Structure 1
Amino acid sequence: MAVTVRPLRDRDFFPWLDLFAGYCSFYEVEVTDEKALRVWSWISDKNHELGGAAAHDDDGNLVGFVHYREVPHTLTARRGLFLDDIYVKPEGRNAGVGHALMAFAQVYARENDLSTIELVTKPDNKEAQKLYDALGARTEWLTYEIEV
């Protein structure tokens, strides 16, 4: 499968929505119309920090996405790229889609003079970890989440 990746466009909403529903299902999180519309509004708003790109197959069908945002790193006085979400349809896994999405992120980071790419994943997401391990190193930092 040949894959191309480009920034998401307004006309991508419905194919993206299908992928977003699959992403939420993968992580066993409910997807609602309100949630999906809010996330899409962030991605499509050029003034919002969240951006997104989609991977397309030979027929132009969306087969994966990555959502990203720039983040400041105070210890280095540099900026990095944080990948909030990466998702590939089951039929696109192990077919180069994840690599293509990560390559897009790397090019974006270089073009925007960003120092690192960071992401988190669940400990049981072994397939994704194979890709991330091939591209980078696990950090010694622990991630915490505090409900407010």
Structure 2
Amino acid sequence: MNVTVREAAEGDFFGWLPLFETHCANRGGRLDDAKALIVWSWAQDPAHALRAGLAVDGAGAPVGLVHFHVEPRTIDASIALVIDDLYVQEGAQGTGVEDLLLAYVRESATGAHATRIVWSHAPDEADALSSAEAGARRRDAVVFEADL
């Protein structure tokens, strides 16, 4: 599969939307129009922390996405990039697209002088876990989440 990764551009909304919608559904969420427009506007605003990358096939059709942001790391006084969303559509999974998306984030981390990249996967995402473990270490941390 001939795939490249690039920053999501203004005209990519309708290619990005079904990927993000499926990713949200896979994570137990529901993406409505308002949420989609808010996240897209964040990704398109150069002053906002959120960045978006798209993996596109040879015909230019999006097959994967990554959303990430800069986070200060107080424990070592450094900067990290935190991946909020990483998704590869069915049919392109297991073909190296996730690795390309992670490489894109790694390049962005270098440009931001970040010292690490942090992300998570659901425990049942075997391909994603295998790919992540090939290039990163698994932390022992337990993540908590509280709704407000």
Whether the TM-score (by the shorter chain) exceeds 0.5 is yes
Residue of structure 2 equivalent to 1:72: 72
Matched, 1:11 2:16: no
Residue of structure 2 equivalent to 1:141: 141
Residue of structure 2 equivalent to 1:85: 85
Identity within the alignment, %: 34
- What's the CA shift for 1:122? 1.5
Residue of structure 2 equivalent to 1:103: 103
CA deviations 1:31-59 (Å, max 9, x no partner) are 10011111111111111111101001111
Cα distance in 2, alignment partners of residues 30 and 64 from structure 1: 18
Q: Gaps (5+ residues) in structure 2?
A: none
- What's the CA shift for 1:97? 0.7
Which stretch shows the higher mean deviation, 119-128 or 33-42?
Answer: 119-128
**Matching residue's letter, 2:58:** D
Cα distance in 2, alignment partners of residues 136 and 72 from structure 1: 20
- What's the CA shift for 1:94? 1.1
SS in 1 for 2:64: strand
**Matching residue's letter, 2:18:** D
Q: TM-score, normalised by structure 1?
A: 0.96
Aligned length: 148
Q: Tell me if the contact between 1:51 and 1:68 (Cα under 8 Å) persists in the aligned partners.
A: yes
SS in 1 for 2:91: helix
Cα distance in 2, alignment partners of residues 79 and 44 from structure 1: 22
SS in 1 for 2:66: strand
Q: Which runs of 4+ in 1 moved over 3 A?
A: none
Cα distance in 1, alignment partners of residues 134 and 18 from structure 2: 28
Cα distance in 1, alignment partners of residues 138 and 67 from structure 2: 20
Q: Gaps (5+ residues) in structure 1?
A: none
Cα distance in 2, alignment partners of residues 8 and 79 from structure 1: 23
**Matching residue's letter, 2:42:** W
Q: TM-score, normalised by structure 2?
A: 0.96
Q: Tell me if the contact between 1:3 and 1:96 (Cα under 8 Å) persists in the aligned partners.
A: no
- What's the CA shift for 1:28? 2.8
Cα distance in 1, alignment partners of residues 104 and 48 from structure 2: 20
CA RMSD of aligned residues (A): 0.9
SS in 2 for 1:95: coil
- What's the CA shift for 1:113? 0.9
Residue of structure 1 equivalent to 2:131: 131
